[in-house]
Structure 1
Amino acid sequence: MNIIKTKVDGVVIIVPKVFGDTRGYFFESWKATACREAGIGSTFIQDNESKSCFGVLRGLHYQAAPYTQSKLVRVVVGAVLDVAVDIRRGSPTFGQHVAVELSGENKRQMFIPRGFAHGFVVLSDEAIFAYKCDNDYMPSAERGICADDPALGIDWRIDREKWVMSPKDQALPMLANAEFLEIGK
């Protein structure tokens, strides 16, 4: 695995070694020892998968303490623009984001530590998105930030009028009005 550090501390891109031939391909999508060596110490307890069509924007989501989650995200089929926003109060990169295209073709993954809001938009006709979490989902701890908050400056690469969002995601607050996380929570 090749680990690529990003401009925001803790968020890394994982590029697996893919072995392909006429039969297809093989790669290790998770290897605890390699990830620990790269500073990813999360113990994942749950795997999730979603299927979405073009323009679906999910996020930006996070959970309040003590239910914060680290995530390791990837795309099995299709392509998405995946985004992680630093919401750790006191962080030198508070409010900054990392955006990366994840696809079934490039097999890249993004590790998102606790203290980040997360979301993605589907760039292909459809996408199957898979991710690992290191804490249980807790509905009462659900929080989020408006995906098109100008303070975030995220280029989602799809015109706003083509977004397909849930009513809940459409009603998320701007960063200035969101509940932030303290570093270390």
Structure 2
Amino acid sequence: MVPPVTASVHRRDPVPDIIADDLDVLFVGINPGFASARAGHHFANPANGFWRLMHEGGFTQRRFLPSEGRELLAQGIGITNIVARETAGVKDLTREDFDEGRRILERKIARFRPKAVVFVGVTVYRAFRGDTSAITCGEQPERIAGARVFVVPNPSGRNAHYRYEDMLAFFRDAASQLYAHRG
């Protein structure tokens, strides 16, 4: 039996999970920024290309707005974060935040059983693994509770490591591998 998913009683979740049983894919961000927390929606900062990449990458038939996130469930797509609390940036997160978030995320994945988990950024995947080893974007060799694991670049406006076209290529590759059976 999988233990229940719980969060710290002293923290609120400013952006609720979009999650259900047996999703095709669960996207995992690092944590909500202030714009997302204010809006109450994932990837709500206009400088973040997540929603555009989801559509142009082949995960969705149309470009969704952050406020339409719950509609993704009907398409077998969910979104969560490794850390629920909002911050100005990843530098404001502590080791304790990541340790607690990793435990909660492991339970969510085991409980909801998505077919694939897509970590949105190398940093969030490193935080989940609890190590600082070199990680490249693309499909990873490990499975989490039976789910395939992918890493795509973080589409934050702060990510200067990838051009949009490069990010799009990773989103397209993940979508094509996950949806290859759909004809």
- With structure 1 as the length reference, what TM-score do the two structures score? 0.31
Greater helix share, structure number: 2
Greater strand share, structure number: 1
Say which one has the larger Rg.
1
